[in-house]
Amino acid sequence: MKFSRRGKAAAWGMLLLAGLWGAAAAGPPSGNASEESARKILAITVQGIINPVVAEFVGKAVDRAEAERAELLLLHLDTPGGLDTAMREIVVKILGSEVPVVVYVSPSGARAASAGVFITLAAHVAAMAPGTNIGAAHPVGLGGGRMDKDMAAKVTNDAVAYLKSIANKRGRNARWAELAVRESKSITAQEALKLGVIDLVAPDREALLKAIHGRRVETVLGKRILATRNAPVESMEMGMRQRFLNAISNPNVAYILMLLGFYGLFFELSSPGAIFPGVIGGICLILAFYAFQSLPVNYAGLLLILLAVALFVGELLVVSHGILTMGGIVAMVLGSLMLIDSPYPFMRISWSVIIPAVALTVLFFLVGLGLAVRVHRERSTMDKGGLLGLKGVAKTDLDPEGQVLVHGELWQAVSDEPVSRGEAVVVTDVEGLRLKVKRA
């Protein structure tokens, strides 16, 4: 069967159209792995105490990873522990995440202690860097007081059940999880891998992403195979607001803010009208109280600090030969030590902060305010009797009112006789804040 030249061209055109239609219907090549590997990895870093601000940050990171359909959320963790409520908020967010969450205890020298144990075991993939450790998850009273025996047993049993349920859900060593809570067991990265507490040990992030490529995990949406070999990594940082709130939640910073608040308000009350010290003091005090809500504050320590301030003020008003000052120093040191009631060193106020704070407080009250009180007393002696007969100089013409310089201060003055600028005058009477003068 022969075709004409025009017929051959039409046939080739039909074949070409058919091929294009078939390719469009078939869609892109079935490179599911390559499509998955193109998804980005969202990475965040949690370093320091686990508090409500950190919990909010992790929660927003999980939400963003889900909204952007990231391959996974990589959480670099280094924490000595923190608040139980904040830790549980993070764990709930990880367990309910639609995107796989990988917790990586890093860099070398980092730790996942206390609350960090719960967060690590809750991850879809738990990894550690060489030279890190995990454990010591025994609960402590973080409410500003010591727990009695029965309450301690209840809290411990609750923490054991919670951590064991997390370990069982992720297929990790529930027996060690119980020991980490009851006996504060702590182990190295290699020991954690051997005991089945974590999934792998990786020297750096690149090695970690290569190691978990192709790993099967199960999220709330079902099973999923990780494709991380060529996935780009995007870091997510805390916002300015979160960084600021996280910084003031540090016990040392909260302590300093509280003292600045007391200083500002006291200065404003002792010198009404200054305004600026009162405004700054009020802001500092509110920020300190915000930080205290996430710290184990002992109110006996707070009362001792207030007593110390009262004793320092008393030293300015009463001749005690230093007894009130010594009492104030002792009360402030004890109050500073007792203010944050926690067995963990990272939750207590450092000596390197307490000693300078006490010294500056003593200087502030005994030197700064002492000079102010002395000046105030000197000014109080310059009443009608103290000013009568003092000589001065007319700074302006008095006809009959003007200004005179008496005792190094400018005064409004009045004279029954004209006085030229520069002439010597003498005070004859005091009428409120105005002097009555005449030529000397």
Q: Is the peptide bond before 343 cis (omega within 30 degrees of 0)?
A: no
Q: Where in the chain is the domain with CATH 3.90.226.10?
A: 32-240
Overall fold of domain 384-439: OB fold (Dihydrolipoamide Acetyltransferase, E2P) (2.40.50)
Residues pairing with 216 in the sheet: 225
* 32-240 CATH choice from 3.40.50.970, 3.90.226.10, 3.40.50.150, 3.40.30.10: 3.90.226.10
Report pLDDT for 111.
96
CB atoms within 10 A of CB 129: 22
Single-letter code of the amino acid located at 7: G
Report pLDDT for 428.
83
Report pLDDT for 37.
40
pTM: 0.71
Rounded-to-integer distance, Cα 58 and Cα 246, Å: 13
First to last CA, the chain: 140
Report pLDDT for 161.
95
Give the burial class of 171: count Cβ atoms within 10 A of its Cβ; 0-12 exposed, 13-18 middle, 19 or more buried: exposed
Report pLDDT for 375.
52
- Set 97, 106, 114, 336: catalytic member: 114
What is the pLDDT tens value at each position of the chain, 440 positions in all? 444 454 545 544 554 445 544 444 444 443 343 344 458 999 999 999 899 999 999 999 999 999 999 999 999 999 998 888 999 999 999 999 999 999 999 999 999 999 999 999 999 999 999 999 999 988 764 444 456 677 778 889 999 999 999 999 999 999 999 999 999 999 999 999 999 999 999 999 999 999 999 999 999 999 999 999 889 999 999 999 999 988 888 889 999 999 999 888 877 776 666 788 889 999 999 999 888 887 878 888 989 999 988 888 777 677 677 788 888 889 999 999 888 877 667 778 888 999 999 888 888 777 655 555 555 555 545 555 567 778 888 888 888 888 888 877 788 888 888 888 888 888 888 877 788 888 87
Residue 114 annotated to the active site: yes
Tokens 């792995």, residue located: 33
Contact 425/440 with Cβ under 8 angstroms? yes
Rounded-to-integer distance, Cα 55 and Cα 41, Å: 20
Using DSSP bridges, classify how beta strands 391-394 and 434-439 pair: parallel, antiparallel or unpaired.
unpaired
Q: Where in the chain is the domain with CATH 2.40.50.140?
A: 384-439
Contact 321/308 with Cβ under 8 angstroms? no
Rounded-to-integer distance, Cα 435 and Cα 403, Å: 9
- Set 8, 154, 210, 384: catalytic member: 154
Q: What are phi and psi of 229, to 5 degrees?
A: -60, -45
Rounded-to-integer distance, Cα 68 and Cα 39, Å: 9
